[in-house]
């Protein structure tokens, strides 16, 4: 049986199309996996041929790369032409295409046409220039799926897997609004994701909010009143969790399956320090497998064949692994 994985090309003005084709061309072909590429089909084909001139194309938009990887292009907004003058800059047109590409892939995953979605990098400015309110893929995923609860971001890079209780909000609002319920929800959501992917009983570590996890109230009361009770509740539920632990003593360790950060920079800085070009972001809590790379569209080098596909390759590996484990 063949499994189909969807790939959204991201911003066509950026490095998304380049890293997608490079990552696919660098894979060991798997006859059980085919790839559905969502984006502007003629443009996507031209990029593929420039990078892999020996690829084969037949029956419309079906392809077989020179390494044997096969799939098809799913044309998005064929009425909008991606011309060379659009490459390397933000625009409403490319923002529209990247938004519609991701949205169609998500809808197809919900309908069971594809088993997972791997999205190339987006440019938030371009989407907003198109008059579409957009703050990143997790918000689009939540809106398209119709979720009432938040999507949890799981950042993966190097030896680290880091879940985030909160994400794009100010640090002062995190401190004033953080609740036990948020922490419990985030850990339970990610624990289920690990279990569905074939890793039951994953071992978690919860970061403290304050230095030294508050040091018994010496450096703030939040860890005494919020993170410690939440951690105890999770342990009582049977989740394998330690903490809260001072964050400055956690991220070098490799004996935890997942570290739970309480805010954006607490989790992002360690992962992006050790894996700046090869980390990925998985959106956890939706009924589909969805992930993207953790780097941007790099408009400054788009079209120059300079992009590093390491993160896209890791994302493809993650999607394939979790699809196989959950089926």
Distances (CA, A) of 25 to 21, 44, 54, 117, 137: 6, 14, 11, 18, 25
pLDDT (mean) for 17-32 = 94
Check residue 214 and give its pLDDT. Answer: 67
Q: What is the pLDDT of residues 227-251, one digit of tens each?
A: 999 999 999 999 999 999 999 999 9
Domains and CATH numbers, the chain: 3-148+279-326 (3.40.718.10), 159-270 (no CATH)
Summarised one tens digit per residue, pLDDT across range 293-317 is 999 999 999 999 999 999 999 999 9
253-258 long-range Cβ contacts below 8 angstroms, 24+ apart:
253/205, 254/159, 255/203, 256/203, 256/204, 256/205, 257/161, 257/194, 257/199, 257/202, 257/203, 257/204, 258/154, 258/161, 258/162, 258/163, 258/190, 258/194, 258/202, 258/203, 258/204, 258/205
Is 201:190 a contact under the CB 8 Å cutoff?
Answer: no
Each residue of 135-191: pLDDT tens digit?
Answer: 889 889 999 999 888 889 999 999 999 999 998 889 999 999 999 999 999 999 999
Q: Share the mean pLDDT of the chain.
A: 93
Average pLDDT over residues 12-41: 95
- pLDDT, one tens digit per residue, over 95-132 is 999 999 999 999 999 999 999 999 999 999 999 999 99
pLDDT band at 276 (very low <50, low <70, confident <90, very high): confident
How do residues 264-273 score in pLDDT, each as one tens digit? Answer: 999 999 999 9
Residue 6 structure tokens:
């969807």
pLDDT value at 92 more than 70: yes
Predicted confidence (pLDDT) per residue in 197-228, tens digit: 778 889 999 999 999 986 888 888 899 999 99
Q: What is the pTM of this model?
A: 0.90
Using pLDDT thresholds of 50, 70 and 90, give the confidence band for residue 327.
low
């Amino acid at each position: 049986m063949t499994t189909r994985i969807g790939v959204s090309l991201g911003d066509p003005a950026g490095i998304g199309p380049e890293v997608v084709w490079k990552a696919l061309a660098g894979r060991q072909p798997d006859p059980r996996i085919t790839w559905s590429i969502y984006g502007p089909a003629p443009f996507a084909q031209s990029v593929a041929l420039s990078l892999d001139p020996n690829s084969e194309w037949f029956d419309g938009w079906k392809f077989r790369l020179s390494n044997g990887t096969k799939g098809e292009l799913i044309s998005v907004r064929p009425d909008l032409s991606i011309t060379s003058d659009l490459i390397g800059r933000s625009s409403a047109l490319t923002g529209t295409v990247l938004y519609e590409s991701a949205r169609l892939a998500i809808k197809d995953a919900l309908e069971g046409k594809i088993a997972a979605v791997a999205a190339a990098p987006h440019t938030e400015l371009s989407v907003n220039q198109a008059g579409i309110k957009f703050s990143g893929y997790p918000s689009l995923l939540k809106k398209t799926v119709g979720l009432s609860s938040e999507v949890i971001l799981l950042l993966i890079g190097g030896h680290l897997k880091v879940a985030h209780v909160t994400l794009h909000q100010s640090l002062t609002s995190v401190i004033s609004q953080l609740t036990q319920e948020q922490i419990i929800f985030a850990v339970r959501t990610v624990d289920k994701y690990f279990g569905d992917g074939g890793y039951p009983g994953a071992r978690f570590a919860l970061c403290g909010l304050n230095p030294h996890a508050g040091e018994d109230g010496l450096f703030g009361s939040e860890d005494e009143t919020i993170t410690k009770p939440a951690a105890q509740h999770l342990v009582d539920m049977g989740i394998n969790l330690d903490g809260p632990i001072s964050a400055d003593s956690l991220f070098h360790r490799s004996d935890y399956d997942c570290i739970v950060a309480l805010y954006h920079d607490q989790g992002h800085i360690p992962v992006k320090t050790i894996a700046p070009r090869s980390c990925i972001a998985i959106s956890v809590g939706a009924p589909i497998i969805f992930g993207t790379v953790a780097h941007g569209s790099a408009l400054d080098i788009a079209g120059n064949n300079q992009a590093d596909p390491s993160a896209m390759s890791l994302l493809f590996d993650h999607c394939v692994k979790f699809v196989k484990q959950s089926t």
